Amino acid sequence: MLRRIAKTGIASALAWTRADALIATLTRSGRLAVINYHRVVEDGARSADSIPGLVVSRRMLEHQLDWIGRRFRFVSLDELGRRLERGESFPTRVAAITFDDGYRDFHDHAVPLLKRKGIPAAVFVVTDLVGTSRLQLHDALYLLLVRWGRKDGRDLKGLLGTLGLEVPALTARRNGGWDPAAVQQALLDGLPKAEVERVVQALEAEVRIDETTIRELQSLTWRMLAELQASGITVGAHTKTHALLTNEDDDTVREETAGSRHALEQRLGTRVDHFAYPAGRFDPRTVAAVASAGYRFAYTICRHRDRDYPLLTIPRMGLWETSCLDTMDRFAPAIMSCQLNSVFELLPSCRADHGRARRAARVNA
């Protein structure tokens, strides 16, 4: 609550004095905004069992899109890419809207709203999950951890020990118990996908996810994707399994990047130029793999760029249900203004290395 009070106060002062727009001018971040969403639900109050930061209600999405539309011109990723490729400047402020992971609720709740308002958008899909009932790995892990946390006699470190795993940063607690979001992030950050899957399997032996929740989190079908593409939605790749590429070996990175593009092109019959890094994680090795896979444009979730591949490290900003709320839980235009003018990104919020340590080591060698 104290953080939200401070954020509301700072944003109100900056927006009232127009200092947020000045900051955007000085940092050259005010002309272009690539916005990133994930899940879109009918009612935000029913998203309590979802990963914090990955859900927006249809009502809040409309609030945010309306605010953006009054100040930016919406463009497709293809138009955005063409301008960036040619080195053209943007005469007006432009915004591109993207959705990650390929949840079915994008089709059910976001697309009707986007069509009604005439807003172009893109969806990045995890191809191995398209048309299946399997959950995203991060969703399964989070939901199982939530249920594990309710279980008497829980001992997460003990469970990991039986798997031969030891993950640091499992100290974050909430209300006297494990914080499932913090634990989930530590596991995803610290382990390759195969080891995370072992943790999920061990948790599934102890607790279960109900069928209603599984249905709510299902992915798009191939038929839905074909219909979306025919209606003008850009379909991009988000790997085969949502593996965090920086945690994987070279063979896995190649299969995840090239394999997802191949699957989309084969099933949809069109060229796929756009790629989004899972969790925005990239380093020189993974960026090079994305280039080798044939993508022209790729997107992250922070403002760091790879100097050799700037078009394969295009920054995005994430928005979700509570990202622009004031202390009264109301949509706050001042906070939204600071978000879009990248004021909060002036603070060092990205902890990822992106290969800088390795570059420094080569320079000092």
Give the CATH number of the domain where residue 302 resides: 3.20.20.370
Query: Mean per-residue pLDDT for 153-167?
Result: 77
- pTM, two decimals, is 0.89
The last residue of one of the domains, among 212, 243, 271, is: 212
- Rank 155-164, 271-280, 344-353 by mean pLDDT and report only the highest: 271-280
Structure confidence at residue 61 (pLDDT): 96
**How many structural domains does the chain have?**
2
Query: Mean per-residue pLDDT for 124-147?
Result: 95
The last residue of one of the domains, among 305, 323, 341, is: 323
Q: Find the domain containing 161 and state its range.
A: 137-212
Of the given ranges (52-66, 85-99, 304-318, 320-334), which has the lowest mean pLDDT? 320-334
Same domain, 114 and 48: yes
Same domain, 232 and 127: yes
Q: Let me know if residue 180 belongs to a domain.
A: yes
Same domain, 110 and 98: yes
Q: Helical H runs in the chain?
A: 2-17, 19-27, 58-69, 77-86, 104-105, 111-117, 137-149, 156-162, 180-190, 193-204, 211-216, 222-230, 250-268, 284-292, 333-340, 356-364
Structure confidence at residue 232 (pLDDT): 96
The last residue of one of the domains, among 173, 193, 212, is: 212
